[in-house]
């Protein structure tokens, strides 16, 4: 089916073979494990085992309940489940004697799809098990869930799926969603985020089921094939019924987890495959660059259409995120975020600070808090959570990517839960679990007892205590107000208490007045003043008498960027369009990047298109015009001719930059090349910067340029720039693109021919690529001159010829032409070029070889190249020999096997392995996709510390059998274009109008979506699968030996805490 991947959605019973759910609690024995099996942790901390296999297998999510017990989501569902694969389960791990080791295990709920996040609220455990969001409850107190409520279904697959469940102080559930598509029947907000059009209802009714093994109305997991294309991810929020679902932030790829600090400020990570994982601060209306409508820029640096990151990028795989504020850790480790990294086997600690309205790391370096030990201990963090004892608990994946079973169909994957505690801990937090109040129902707790839990280590303590205060309503209004004005509470307690009051009696004007007074009190804590703004917005409704207080608008001009930001957010989220003019006035003078983004975002939503277009022309403020422009471009509400008019009249460099950038990437509605050429010449005449001209040339590249327009571009631009005296990289790129544009007219043939011998590589490359734009005329022009050139120009001409589809129309070269190709092949040491030259000769007409002289050249070449050890070359040599009637045979070696390679490692040459890894055009050339340190590319997994986290057997298998285990995000995709081109690789950049495919040779190709016939996933890795024959066993061993010596950080931004 062209253009679409079929999503298979089936309700199935997940089998429970081999699982005895009524078995007695089992004990854990960790004495057999040496200290080397534990992760290395920062000075002043100790790591220990809390639980491990065989009771835990590939755990992906952890959460503590109100009793302080650890609930773990684990099982065989991730990575390639089938319809009959056992379901994941949620188990209870309890440390009843307080020795820091779990001594009992019990299955609480089962039959799930891949469990990737857990969150408690009251007696309900919310389970993210895409494509479902399920709530389970134990109705009879036996610690086994009896009721399963299906809140959402059809909301993605297990890859880049539903994660990050968090109950927040505003009473809402926040959840992160990766970029896998959703089904048409998914709730509307999910469909909007994933770009899935549908006529289904906006919401789904909650469906209630019994346990999966019940006789009637049993819960059924929902199965969706996990090999779907990718769209856009983000953060959503809803209330406790699943209602009022909306997109909170977007533009993400795989935001695996999010959390908030004591001031209810969000922080999280977003996985990427080439730009490094991003640390971010999501907020309402935030938009990052993944699947941006018109300009992809992952890092967001100086990228006004999107947002900047909040910390250093890291080439790993960010997983669980948790905020820590307990007094159990030393002061330096309070008020920090902990972030797990599954791929690099680390946990980082982020010390946050405010930079204007942006919450970010206080360092450009990542501080490692815990990591796999020197003996490569099994430490693959998937989730992190703060326990009731103040320790940090880390769930760790097993040694293999997917599920493994024994002969009895029992899962045998490893799995660990680590406990990291302060060496000097007084375990005071642990006493909170044993507090007498926990034997009473919450309704009997005193106000002080509830307030104490608002500073609890376990999130559900805070959630439940606040919900109980909200339930009590007006009777706790006065105690809360008194407590908020005292100096004895922590910031976290104040945040949760303030929101408890904010959720009580929404029509009570006295509560509104209390928060207004707090906001006006400049001596009050800034965080509490910020909560006041948020709460007043939360309490505002749509009635005229229930609108956002006017006083909040005054804070648009506050000295504090954070208060200005919160004022914009309040106006935005309450849809207070009456304050549009103050927003415009603030936009004109705002200097903070985050506030500016929010200002133009809210104006985009508030003002009709025509009013904004008028502002774009009439506003005297360049900042206002820029903000309005960014909003119009994001929506797609400007046409190409309108943007050209802007460029003709605008003098502001930022407006020119982003208008021309849009033209380069989209240029929708721009059909007249004359307009664009005239603007290019005008900018050139005025000496306007290269970037603007380059953007306009990119727009022109999508048009057909002929006649007078072609002549003007050639004579007045190309000819004047093509031979600069000094090499300027920017100018060479500009001229190369101009040559490509001119190449669609046959008058360009002499220009292309001269370009083959150009001293600037980009221009020479453009000439090579562009000859085929002229089809048969281009081919004949090259062939007619092939025997008249030599050296680099000859090689370039052969490169250009190799791009033509000569299979459709074989050619008949003369003996001089054959001799030229043979000479070039013999003179070159570049394997890829030698392949092209040989292939060119194998695609000739059989009549070519009737001439004895011509044949002799080919025979000699075949005899020489058949001795080459590269199978890509000797197979072509054999083919050429067969074509000319001269049998030549290569000496074929047996394919390299894991067993043989591993036996050679003892004598392997790591220096030779490094050469093979980095050899340009070589048989390995691993650097074209992989990165080590600061060298190489990030289209495939980072190998900087391969020796520290991988064993030789795994590395050998990855090279010889790349399709056996495919890391998530690196499965190959195939794109078919209207021209019949088939591009296979990984998609690393995508907007609404284009995408970029990186092929296995590392070449990145941009494709307009309008030219795509079909895009689909393949069950193969982007890594070539022929290395077993392409490389000798000794060469594979050399590469593995060098990679095993790589134990350093992925780049120079990692720092290990001093010990």
If one compares 73 and 953, the residue with the highest pLDDT of the two is 73
Q: Determine which helix (DSSP H) or strand (DSSP E) holds 402, and give its type and residue range.
A: none
- pLDDT for position 1057: 54
Is the domain of 518 the same as that of 591? yes
Residue 545's pLDDT band (cuts 50, 70, 90): low
Residue 873 within any structural domain of the chain: no
Q: How far, in whole angstroms, is CA 901 from its chain's centroid?
A: 34
String of DSSP letters for 548-596: PPHHHHGGGG-S-HHHHHHHHHHHHHTT-GGGHHHHHHHHTT---HHHH
* Residue 951 in this model has a pLDDT that exceeds 70: yes
Query: How would you list the strands of the sheet with 173-177, edge to edge?
Result: 162-167, 173-177, 233-238, 246-252, 286-287
- pLDDT for position 1058: 38
- pLDDT for position 287: 98
- Is-contact 254 198, C-beta < 8 A? no
Rounded to an integer, the average pLDDT of 496-502 is: 98
If one compares 691 and 913, the residue with the highest pLDDT of the two is 913
CA-CA distance, 827 to 156, in Å (whole number)? Answer: 54
- pLDDT for position 32: 59
Rounded to an integer, the average pLDDT of 293-306 is: 94
Residue 886 within any structural domain of the chain: no
Per the structure block, which two tokens stand in for 971?
Answer: 């499965």
Residue 18's pLDDT band (cuts 50, 70, 90): very low
Residue 195's pLDDT band (cuts 50, 70, 90): very high
Residue 754 within any structural domain of the chain: no
Rounded to an integer, the average pLDDT of 1003-1022 is: 82
Is the domain of 497 the same as that of 510? no
Rounded to an integer, the average pLDDT of 1043-1055 is: 68
Could you tell me the CATH number of the domain that includes residue 952?
Answer: 2.30.30.100
If one compares 82 and 509, the residue with the highest pLDDT of the two is 509
* Residue 15 in this model has a pLDDT that exceeds 60: no
Is the domain of 82 the same as that of 189? yes
Is the domain of 228 the same as that of 314? yes
From 21, 38, 164, select the one nearest 100 (Cα to Cα): 38
Residue 281 within any structural domain of the chain: yes
Rounded to an integer, the average pLDDT of 463-486 is: 97
Summarised one tens digit per residue, pLDDT across range 206-223 is 999 999 999 899 998 887
The C-alpha torsion from 911 through 915 and 917 to 919, rounded to 10°, is 180
Could you tell me the CATH number of the domain that includes residue 55?
Answer: 2.120.10.30
* Residue 24 in this model has a pLDDT that exceeds 50: no
CA-CA distance, 279 to 263, in Å (whole number)? Answer: 18
SS3 category, 226: coil
SS3 category, 632: helix
Summarised one tens digit per residue, pLDDT across range 130-145 is 899 999 999 999 999 9
Is the domain of 184 the same as that of 211? yes
CA-CA distance, 295 to 634, in Å (whole number)? Answer: 9
If one compares 153 and 929, the residue with the highest pLDDT of the two is 153
Give the count of domains, the chain. Answer: 4
Is the domain of 165 the same as that of 142? yes
Percent of the residues in the chain that have a pLDDT greater than 70, as a whole number: 93
- pLDDT for position 944: 83
848 DSSP assignment: G
Is the domain of 466 the same as that of 547? no
Calculate the average pLDDT of the chain.
89
SS3 category, 152: strand
Domain that holds residue 468: 435-474+489-501
Percent of the residues in the chain that have a pLDDT greater than 90, as a whole number: 59
* Residue 536 in this model has a pLDDT that exceeds 70: yes
- Name 651's Cβ contacts closer than 8 Å, sequence gap at least 6: none
Summarised one tens digit per residue, pLDDT across range 817-830 is 899 999 999 998 88
Looking up tokens 């077993």 gives 1028
Rounded to an integer, the average pLDDT of 102-107 is: 95
From 192, 45, 64, 981, select the one nearest 456 (Cα to Cα): 64
The winner for highest mean pLDDT among 412-416, 420-424, 866-870 is 420-424
If one compares 603 and 891, the residue with the highest pLDDT of the two is 603
Residue 535 within any structural domain of the chain: yes
Is the domain of 338 the same as that of 227? yes
- Is-contact 693 666, C-beta < 8 A? no
- Name 482's Cβ contacts closer than 8 Å, sequence gap at least 6: none
Rounded to an integer, the average pLDDT of 945-974 is: 82
SS3 category, 983: strand
Looking up tokens 């074929």 gives 892
Residue 37's pLDDT band (cuts 50, 70, 90): confident
If one compares 974 and 428, the residue with the highest pLDDT of the two is 974
Is the domain of 414 the same as that of 447? no
Is the domain of 242 the same as that of 391? yes
Is the domain of 235 the same as that of 323? yes
- Is-contact 405 431, C-beta < 8 A? no
- pLDDT for position 123: 97
Give the dihedral sign, CA 924/928/933/939. Answer: negative
Burial (CB count within 10 angstroms: exposed 0-12, middle 13-18, buried 19+), residue 518:
buried
Q: Which of 57-71, 450-464, 536-550 has the lowest mean pLDDT?
A: 536-550
Residue 1049's pLDDT band (cuts 50, 70, 90): low
CA-CA distance, 247 to 268, in Å (whole number)? Answer: 16
849 DSSP assignment: G
Residue 764's pLDDT band (cuts 50, 70, 90): very high
Give the dihedral sign, CA 767/772/773/776. Answer: positive
Residue 622 within any structural domain of the chain: no
Q: How far, in whole angstroms, is CA 551 from its chain's centroid?
A: 40
Is the domain of 122 the same as that of 171? yes
Residue 636 within any structural domain of the chain: no
**Of 394, 411, 429, at which residue does a domain stop?**
429
CA-CA distance, 309 to 903, in Å (whole number)? Answer: 46
Burial (CB count within 10 angstroms: exposed 0-12, middle 13-18, buried 19+), residue 1029:
middle
Residue 91's pLDDT band (cuts 50, 70, 90): very high
Residue 844 within any structural domain of the chain: no
Residue 666's pLDDT band (cuts 50, 70, 90): confident
Summarised one tens digit per residue, pLDDT across range 373-388 is 766 678 999 999 999 9
């Amino acid at each position: 089916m062209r253009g679409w991947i079929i999503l298979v959605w089936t309700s199935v019973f997940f089998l429970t073979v081999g699982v005895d759910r009524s078995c007695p609690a089992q004990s854990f024995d960790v004495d057999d494990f040496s200290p080397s099996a534990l992760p290395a942790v920062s000075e002043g901390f100790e790591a220990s085992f809390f639980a491990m296999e065989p009771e835990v297998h590939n755990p992906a999510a952890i959460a503590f309940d109100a009793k302080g017990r650890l609930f773990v989501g684990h099982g065989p569902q991730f990575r390639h489940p089938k319809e009959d694969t056992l379901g994941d389960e949620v188990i209870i791990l309890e440390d009843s004697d307080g020795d820091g080791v779990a001594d009992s295990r019990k299955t609480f709920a089962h039959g799930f799809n891949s469990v990737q996040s857990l969150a408690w609220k009251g007696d309900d455990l919310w389970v993210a098990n895409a494509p479902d969001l399920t709530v389970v409850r134990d109705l009879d107190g036996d610690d086994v869930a009896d009721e399963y409520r299906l809140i959402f279904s059809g909301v993605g697959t297990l890859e880049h799926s539903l994660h990050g469940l968090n109950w927040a102080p505003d009473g809402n559930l926040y959840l992160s969603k990766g970029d896998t598509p959703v089904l048409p029947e998914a709730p509307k907000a999910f469909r909007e985020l994933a770009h899935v059009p549908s006529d289904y209802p906006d919401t789904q009714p909650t469906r209630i089921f019994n346990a999966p093994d019940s006789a009637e109305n049993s819960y059924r997991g929902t199965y969706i094939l996990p090999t779907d294309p990718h769209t856009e991810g983000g953060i959503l929020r809803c209330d406790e019924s699943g209602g009022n679902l909306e997109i909170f932030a977007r533009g993400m790829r795989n935001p695996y987890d999010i959390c908030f600090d004591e001031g209810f400020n969000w922080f999280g990570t977003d996985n990427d495959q080439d730009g490094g994982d991003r640390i971010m601060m999501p907020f309402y209306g935030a938009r990052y660059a993944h699947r941006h409508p018109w300009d992809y820029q992952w890092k967001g640096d100086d990228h006004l259409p999107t947002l900047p990151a909040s910390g250093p990028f890291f080439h790993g795989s960010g997983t669980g995120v948790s905020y820590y504020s307990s007094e159990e850790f030393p002061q330096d480790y309070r008020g920090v975020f902990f972030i797990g990294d599954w791929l690099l086997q680390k946990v980082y600690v982020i010390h946050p600070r405010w930079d204007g309205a942006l919450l970010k790391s206080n360092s450009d370096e990542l501080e490692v808090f815990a990591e796999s030990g020197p003996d490569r201990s099994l430490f693959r963090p998937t989730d992190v959570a703060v326990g009731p004892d103040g320790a940090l608990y880390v769930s760790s994946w097993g040694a293999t990517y997917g599920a493994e079973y024994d002969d009895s169909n029992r899962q045998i994957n490893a799995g660990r839960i680590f406990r990291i505690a302060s060496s000097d801990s007084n375990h005071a937090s642990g006493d909170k679990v044993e507090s007498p109040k926990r034997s009473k129902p919450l309704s009997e707790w005193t106000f002080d007892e509830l307030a104490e839990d608002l500073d609890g280590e376990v999130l559900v303590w805070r959630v439940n205590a606040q919900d109980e205060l909200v339930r009590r309503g007006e009777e706790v209004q006065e105690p809360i107000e008194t407590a908020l004005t005292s100096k004895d509470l922590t910031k976290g307690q104040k945040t949760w208490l303030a929101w408890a009051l904010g959720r009580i009696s929404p029509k009570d004007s006295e509560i509104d007045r209390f928060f207004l007074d707090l906001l006006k009190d400049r001596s009050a804590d800034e965080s509490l003043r910020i909560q006041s703004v948020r709460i007043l917005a939360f309490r505002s409704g749509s009635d005229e008498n229930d609108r956002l207080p006017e006083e909040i608008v005054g804070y648009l001009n506050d000295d504090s960027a954070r208060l200005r930001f919160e004022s914009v957010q309040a106006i935005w989220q309450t849809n207070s369009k009456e304050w549009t003019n103050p927003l415009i006035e603030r936009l004109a003078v705002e200097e903070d990047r985050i506030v500016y983004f929010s200002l133009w975002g809210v104006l985009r939503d508030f003002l009709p298109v025509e009013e904004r277009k008028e502002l774009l022309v009439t506003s005297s403020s360049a900042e206002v015009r820029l903000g309005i422009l960014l909003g119009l471009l994001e929506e797609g509400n400007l046409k190409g001719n309108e943007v050209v008019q802007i460029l003709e009249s605008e003098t502001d460099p930022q407006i020119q930059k982003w208008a021309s950038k849009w033209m380069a990437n989209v240029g929708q509605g721009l059909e007249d090349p004359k307009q664009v050429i005239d603007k290019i010449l005008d900018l050139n005449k005025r000496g306007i910067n290269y970037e603007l001209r380059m953007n306009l040339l990119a727009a022109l590249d999508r048009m057909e340029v002929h006649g007078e327009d072609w002549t003007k571009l050639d004579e007045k631009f190309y000819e004047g720039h093509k031979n600069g005296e000094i090499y300027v990289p920017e100018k060479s790129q500009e001229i190369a693109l101009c040559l490509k544009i001119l190449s669609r007219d046959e008058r360009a043939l002499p220009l292309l021919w001269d370009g083959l011998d150009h001293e600037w590589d980009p221009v020479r490359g453009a000439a090579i690529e562009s000859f085929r734009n002229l089809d048969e005329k281009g081919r004949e022009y090259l062939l007619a001159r092939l025997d008249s050139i030599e050296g680099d120009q000859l090689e370039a001409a052969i490169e250009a010829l190799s791009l033509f589809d000569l299979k459709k129309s074989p050619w008949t070269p003369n003996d001089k032409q054959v001799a030229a190709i043979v000479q070039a092949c013999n003179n070159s040491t570049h394997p890829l070029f030698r392949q092209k030259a040989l292939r060119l000769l194998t695609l000739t007409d059989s009549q070519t070889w009737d001439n004895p002289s011509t044949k002799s050249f080919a025979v000699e070449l075949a005899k020489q190249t058949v001795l080459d050890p590269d199978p890509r070359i000797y197979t072509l040599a054999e083919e050429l020999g067969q074509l000319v009637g001269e049998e030549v045979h290569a000496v074929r070696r047996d394919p390299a096997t894991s067993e043989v390679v591993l036996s050679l490692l003892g004598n392997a040459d790591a220096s030779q392995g490094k050469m093979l890894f980095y050899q340009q055009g070589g048989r390995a050339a691993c650097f074209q996709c992989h990165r080590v340190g600061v060298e190489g590319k990030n289209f495939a997994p980072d190998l900087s510390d391969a020796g520290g986290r991988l064993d030789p057997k795994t590395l050998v298998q990855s090279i010889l059998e790349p399709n056996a285990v495919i890391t998530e995000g690196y499965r190959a995709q195939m794109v078919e274009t209207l021209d019949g081109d088939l591009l296979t690789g990984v998609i690393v950049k995508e907007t609404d109008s284009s995408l970029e495919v990186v092929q296995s040779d590392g070449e990145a190709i941009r494709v307009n979506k309008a030219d795509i016939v079909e895009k689909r996933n393949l069950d193969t890795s982007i890594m070539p699968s022929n290395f077993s024959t392409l490389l000798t066993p000794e060469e594979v061993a050399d590469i593995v030996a060098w990679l095993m010596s790589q134990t350093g950080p992925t780049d120079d931004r990692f720092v290990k805490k001093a010990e």
